[in-house]
């Protein structure tokens, strides 16, 4: 289903696609939640996956500080984040695979001259794990991760940094996201967004002003000619 886009976008060309990583390139958010719950249990914090969702927004550093205390020394915060992420990679590693249609979608976008960026709350080890594990790195002109931002989503910082790295205006970007906080970050950045119904069912993404909602990339397309991109984004 297509939705109305903000008026300032209507007369601007689309120059860049910006992709979140977790839940957007791969279907892995359940593994992240499970790893967080297992990791926290090892440190005496007992939460269900549902209870953990109250804390689950922003970067790993921000989540650790919410759960372990804002005064925890930075070195300890970093150590705990790396412990959790290593557990996640161990648990998810055997299941690592791209969302259906992703590689073909990226190939078409590159062929049409669109600039591509990754903008994620994930840190460098997790980015390497995904991009190199799936051989996706060559598709991206810019990569922005947790180490480059001060504030995680829903703050728009990561998307604005990605646009700047690509040399394009925010309104010339289309974001691909799976999370409510990511969609809100795109809105705050002044960017249109496509919702991937992986972390949330499509019904929960309705009414958020998304250009399109799809289960994966086999249900998305880019037009054959760049001049048609804006028409694809317009309400049908």
Tokens at 41, concatenated: 């249990």
Q: What is the rounded CA–CA span in Å between residue 135 and residue 206?
A: 33
Look up residue 220 and give its DSSP letter.
Answer: -
Assign 145 to helix, strand or coil.
coil
**Cβ atoms 154, 62 nearer than 8 A:** no
**Residues acting as catalytic residues:** 20
The residues, any chain, with a CB within 8 Å of residue 89's CB and separated by 6 or more, are 125, 126, 129
Q: In whole angstroms, what is the distance from residue 25 CA to residue 130 CA?
A: 9
End-to-end CA, the chain = 8
Find the angle CA(133)-CA(139)-CA(142) to the nearest 5 degrees: 100
The C-alpha angle with vertex 127 and arms to 48 and 112, in degrees rounded to 5, equals 120
Nearest in space to 57 (alpha carbons), one of 166, 184, 181: 181
């Amino acid at each position: 289903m297509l939705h109305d886009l903000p008026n300032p976008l209507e007369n601007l060309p689309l120059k860049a696609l910006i992709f979140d990583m977790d839940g957007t390139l791969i279907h892995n958010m359940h593994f992240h939640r499970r790893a967080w719950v297992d990791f926290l249990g090892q440190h005496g914090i007992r939460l269900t996956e549902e209870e953990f969702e109250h804390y689950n927004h922003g970067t790993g550093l921000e989540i650790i500080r919410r759960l372990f205390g804002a005064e925890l020394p930075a070195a300890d915060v970093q150590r705990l984040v790396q412990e959790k992420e290593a557990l996640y990679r161990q648990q998810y590693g055997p299941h690592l695979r791209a969302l259906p249609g992703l590689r073909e979608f990226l190939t078409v976008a590159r062929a049409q001259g669109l600039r591509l960026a990754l903008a994620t709350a994930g840190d460098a080890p997790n980015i390497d794990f995904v991009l190199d594990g799936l051989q996706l790195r060559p598709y991206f002109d810019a990569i922005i991760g947790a180490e480059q931002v001060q504030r995680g989503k829903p703050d728009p910082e990561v998307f604005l940094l990605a646009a700047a790295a690509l040399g394009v205006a925010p309104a010339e970007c289309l974001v691909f996201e799976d999370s409510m906080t990511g969609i809100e970050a795109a809105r705050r950045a002044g960017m249109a967004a496509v919702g991937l119904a992986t972390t949330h069912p499509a019904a929960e993404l309705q009414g958020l002003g998304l250009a399109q909602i799809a289960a994966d990339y086999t249900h998305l397309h880019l037009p054959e000619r760049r001049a048609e991109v804006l028409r694809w984004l317009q309400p049908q």
